[in-house]
Amino acid sequence: MQSPKGMVPSTTPLSKEVINKFLEQQKEYLRLLETCQHKNLNKIKVKITLSKWIKLKLGDALRVTIYHNERHILQALKAAKVK
C-alpha cells in the first residue's frame, strides 16, 4: 500500500537522533500496551490521523500500529541489506 502524499518521509538518510527517537517511541508504545492490558479493546474507540470522521476499535488501532512499525523495520533492514 502506498503512503498518502502527506505521509511520505523525506529522502534524507537517517540520523542517530531519528533512530533514537524511534526506539524511545517503541518503549513508550510498550508502556501503552501494558496500560491497555486490562481494557476492553473492542469497546473503546479511537480517532485515526487519516480522517477525523473514522474511529477504530482500540484493539484494531493497536494492531494497525504494530503492523505499520513492522513495515518500517523491514524497510530499514532492506535499506541496510540485512536479513
- Residue pLDDT, tens place only, 26-83: 999 999 999 999 999 999 999 988 788 999 999 999 999 999 889 888 877 887 775 4
The whole-angstrom separation of Cα 69 and Cα 62 is: 11
Q: What is the pTM of this model?
A: 0.70
CB 36 within 8 A of CB 62: yes
Query: Left (φ > 0), alpha (ψ -120 to 50) or beta: where does 81 sit?
Result: left
Please identify which residue in the block is written with the cell numbers 518521509: 9
